[in-house]
Structure 1
Amino acid sequence: MNNSTVTELCFLHTNLLEEDIKRIKELVANLPLIADLNKANVFVDCPTKEGKHAIVVAEAAPSTTKSNYKKSVVGKFAYEAFEPAVFYTLRTGKPMFLNRAVTQEGKTVDQSVVPIKGADDRVLGALIMEKDISEHLQRQQKMEALSEATEALSGILMGLAENRPIIPEMLEESIFFLEQDGKLLYCNPSGTNLIQEIDEDGSWIGKSLVSYFPVIEAILKASDELIVQEVKLLNKVFQVKKIELRQQEKMTGTFVIFKNITELREKERELIVKSVAIREIHHRVKNNLQTVASLLRLQMRRGLPEESKVHFVESLNRITSIASVYEIILSGSSVDDVDLFKLIEKIGNTLILEAEHENKKISITYSGAHSQIQSNKAVSVALVVNELIQNCVKHAFKAIHHGKIEVFFHQIDDQMEIQVIDNGEGYSPKSKSSLGLDIVKMMIEHDLSGCFLIEKAETGTIATVKFPLTRGEVQL
């Protein structure tokens, strides 16, 4: 397997990072061994940038048995309609075993799929194994009355079974069945209505489907037996599926299915417009906050009374903490969600860097998952974390100039808990309440519907914050 092909396909069609592609390439190097050991074809599929399809970036055929494929499928797209198990694994990160599937060359296989995961348990792609069970199925079919079954199924398909309503007649999709030469043999009522929008005559039997819909000519001529493609037709958007039927390597007919997805695409377009608008709002809020921060820094450079300087610094830190929320949103792919780990890390590192300017040697560590929280909650969390870490820097190490701060955060069901622990002088309940702690209590109780506890530890102080990720009561 050519690793340069894997890299090129991943960069061209996916959102995978360089470290993700390296992980994929390490796995691809072992594909031939996996194929030989299992006597099966194996593939690596990765989700495309749009997330609608997947791209086959690597494959390996077994040398220990006959391959299921005559042609390479590397670089071809996989569609959810034909690969439901693959897309289930890509979305959920869960494996699927011995799922019945049909290959792109029309063979029936037992398909097993396991997720390929990278850092932070992210799903990078899917490892797929396919074993040919065509002979097994043929042995089963020989035991059935094939002629009677075929006649009955044909009658149901064509709607000739005692003139009763059947499934194709009730479907909203337009279904066409073409003979080997591409002439129309059958279409359901929805298909007839679609044809009549072009030709009111309605005598479609024996005519070419391409004569009505020239836009699908390339789809019908394509050598692939299974194709899903979008086309624009009659000022609408249709998803067109082509399914070729084969018997003993000979094509016996073709199903063409039109599904009107105009409304779906319009809703997607509206969502994209709204997403762009939201990101633009976040961008402007971030710029405005940075402008306010710049004004405060300018005032500080021009000179301040010593007793006022600390208040300006605290206000500046609060503003930059809120701005961090919008910077992280704009740097990620989500429209309105914030990575909690990145947010806390950014705020903490900024405060510790300022402490170094005051000749304090304080180290800080973070422990927690990359949980996503909504931006409105993230603003409150940013202010809370800013005040707690700033409180450590300012008060815990007042008499000493070195120390350690640990920030722990973890999610239990719908509850998020954040702890800020220092090894400084230790909190005294008799201490005078500060503006910072008042801000923490107000944010936790009113904005996050949570609770706050600060207490003296054996060495230093432990501040604990708990709040629900969705609106509701906090579990103490």
Structure 2
Amino acid sequence: MATLRETAEKYGPLSEAEAEWLALLTADWQIIADLSFADLVMWRKVEDGFVAVAQCRPSTGPTVHQDDVVGTMAAAGRVAHLQRALDEGGITASREPRWDETYAVREDALPIVMDGKPVGVLTREVSQAVSRSSSRLELNYKGAADDLLHMITRGEFPRQMSVTGSRRGAPRVGDGVLRLDAAGHVTYASPNALSCFHRLGVTGSLMNRSLPRVTSELVTDKGHIDETLAMVVMGRAPWRADVEANGATLSLRAIPVTEYGERIGAVLLCRDVSELRRRERELITKDATIREIHHRVKNNLQTVAALLRLQSRRVQAPEAKEALAEAMRRVSTIALVHETLSGTLDELVNFDDLAGRSMRMAAEVASPGVQVKLLREGDFGLIPAQYASSLALVMTELVTNAVEHGFEGREHGIITVTAERTDESRLRVVIADDGKGLSAEPSGLGSQIVRTLVENELGGEIVWRRTETGSAVDVHVQVGE
């Protein structure tokens, strides 16, 4: 799907600043469409007239355009109206409704201004198929929309610092709308907005009351007030804030209304997000619990490794010492994975860092008298936590095997680890050394552990082979669904 900039640039060059301005407008114009109960269409002027480059349908009323109009040229009868909006520089109403199939459409056009220069035309199109008298809510919604549209003609909307992201719980027009004057007094509150504040503990009407004072009286825990809340309820800044009281949580978003740079009021959107915030807190608690479990498992495994180390010091038989050392190394590798998981909320592990640490530890423990140079090529990428322990053990065993058997009788050696993602779910790893090479496929406990993990836990295959400079192991494993 083409971006707004890609679509717009098909019909002429667009500067970086203009593209950003238009993208910022389309990121926030759903509010205007909903307040207007109307479709919005963005037009660019071209040699043959005007072409539509973006559109927005209302969620509060019927749409005019059943089909997308992006990429279509304005009809010849509409060109003069669009050009008049550019020439006059304000909101221009069509002299007569136009007919689309069986119903009439009333259309307003206005220039999209940035830094005093028009960069496009915006049309607000309302179907006349449904005839009804405007309610108080509709009159206030349309009045708020007109305020924002006038700001577009002066280059005062959208706001560069406005919060337009899709953060969970973002309030929408249907959730509740308030209009404020310059002093923060409520000049209108929609029924849904009034219901939201009643849940916070407000009694009676909000009309003509100071919203900052009302909010301040509701919040009893002054130590946990959102620092931006005062600016939002005054309508001074285009920010978002949450307010909590009486077990309810409201998400508020302010859109200051300005006239030639002077703030004359604000439109405030509100939404009851009590249940959403409660679930988020539960998830945070669960995440913290999971991290704590990983941390405790890591500590317990490190204790087991320390006990194995103490036990190995008391054992005289070389085979027993070696067996305890191998067990200690494997436990330490699993502990390293849990240490990594305890520091993240994600179920994905950055395996490049984990692999580097586990392989260095394996090389140092396997043969302290050999100086091993570890080389890395390619990236492992992000590995799901369910595969991390098995893959880390495989890497540790293979590096250990290369050090112990490939470099026997030598003072130094090189191990090269090459990682390659063959697709999103498959990983190929090659561990090569410049040692004496393989005489036969390994059959010890370590190789048995590796084969079992690769084939049974990681759904892959493993092949040992001799090379011109030593030996190599090819591992193909599944690291995703």
Is contact 2:235-2:268 (8 Å) kept? Answer: no
2:24 partner amino acid: A
Residue 178 (1) aligns with residue 180 (2): yes
User: 1:346 aligns to what?
Assistant: 357
2:133 partner amino acid: E
Alignment of 1:268-307 (within 5 A): 268-307=280-319
SS at match of 2:363: helix
SS at match of 2:230: helix
1:469 partner amino acid: V
Is contact 1:365-1:405 (8 Å) kept? Answer: yes
SS at match of 2:24: strand
User: 1:406 aligns to what?
Assistant: 416
Larger Rg: 2
1:283 partner amino acid: H
Q: CA deviation at 1:224?
A: 3.3
Is contact 2:179-2:189 (8 Å) kept? Answer: yes
1:346 partner amino acid: R
Q: Aligned pair count?
A: 341
Is contact 2:380-2:427 (8 Å) kept? Answer: no
- Identity, in percent, stands at 26
Residue 101 (1) aligns with residue 34 (2): no
User: 2:89 aligns to what?
Assistant: 142
Task: Rate the CA distance shift 1:362–1:239 in 2: closer, same or farther, 3 A.
Answer: same
2:89 partner amino acid: K
TM-score, length basis structure 1: 0.62
Alignment of 1:23-38 (within 5 A): none
Is contact 2:433-2:471 (8 Å) kept? Answer: yes
Could you tell me how far apart the structure 2 residues matched to 1:454 and 1:98 are? 59
Could you tell me how far apart the structure 1 residues matched to 2:312 and 2:182 are? 82
Could you tell me how far apart the structure 1 residues matched to 2:22 and 2:458 are? 45
Match of 2:240 among 208, 228, 233: 228
SS at match of 1:226: coil
Residue 162 (1) aligns with residue 173 (2): no
Residue 424 (1) aligns with residue 371 (2): no
Could you tell me how far apart the structure 2 residues matched to 1:256 and 1:449 are? 55
Alignment deviations for residues 451-473 of structure 1 (CA, whole Å, 9 cap, x no partner): 211111122111111222213xx
Q: CA deviation at 1:374?
A: 2.7
SS at match of 2:459: coil
Q: CA deviation at 1:222?
A: 5.2
Question: After the TM superposition, which of the residue ranges 457-466 and 246-255 deviates more from structure 2?
Answer: 246-255
Task: Rate the CA distance shift 1:241–1:458 in 2: closer, same or farther, 3 A.
Answer: same
Is contact 1:244-1:254 (8 Å) kept? Answer: yes
* Unmatched segments (≥5 aa) in structure 1: 1-38, 42-95, 103-135, 472-476
Could you tell me how far apart the structure 2 residues matched to 1:342 and 1:188 are? 54
Alignment of 1:311-326 (within 5 A): 311-326=323-338
User: 1:75 aligns to what?
Assistant: none
Task: Rate the CA distance shift 1:460–1:226 in 2: closer, same or farther, 3 A.
Answer: same
Higher relative CO (CA 8 A, sep ≥ 6), structure 1 or 2? 2
Is contact 1:240-1:258 (8 Å) kept? Answer: yes
TM-score, length basis structure 2: 0.61
* Unmatched segments (≥5 aa) in structure 2: 1-14, 26-82, 96-107, 110-122, 143-171, 219-228
Is contact 2:454-2:461 (8 Å) kept? Answer: yes
Alignment deviations for residues 356-383 of structure 1 (CA, whole Å, 9 cap, x no partner): 53x3233222223362223331110111
1:426 partner amino acid: G
SS at match of 2:239: strand
Residue 219 (1) aligns with residue 231 (2): yes
Could you tell me how far apart the structure 2 residues matched to 1:305 and 1:207 are? 86
SS at match of 1:162: coil
Residue 263 (1) aligns with residue 285 (2): no
Is contact 2:184-2:234 (8 Å) kept? Answer: no
Is contact 2:193-2:271 (8 Å) kept? Answer: no
SS at match of 1:424: coil
1:186 partner amino acid: Y
Q: CA deviation at 1:259?
A: 1.5
Alignment of 1:51-200 (within 5 A): 97=20, 99-101=22-24, 139=86, 142=89, 144-145=91-92, 149=108, 162-163=133-134, 171-180=173-182, 182-194=184-196
Is contact 1:342-1:370 (8 Å) kept? Answer: no
Is contact 2:291-2:344 (8 Å) kept? Answer: no
SS at match of 1:354: helix
Residue 394 (1) aligns with residue 404 (2): yes
User: 1:110 aligns to what?
Assistant: none
1:142 partner amino acid: G
1:404 partner amino acid: I
1:326 partner amino acid: H
User: 2:445 aligns to what?
Assistant: 435
2:295 partner amino acid: H
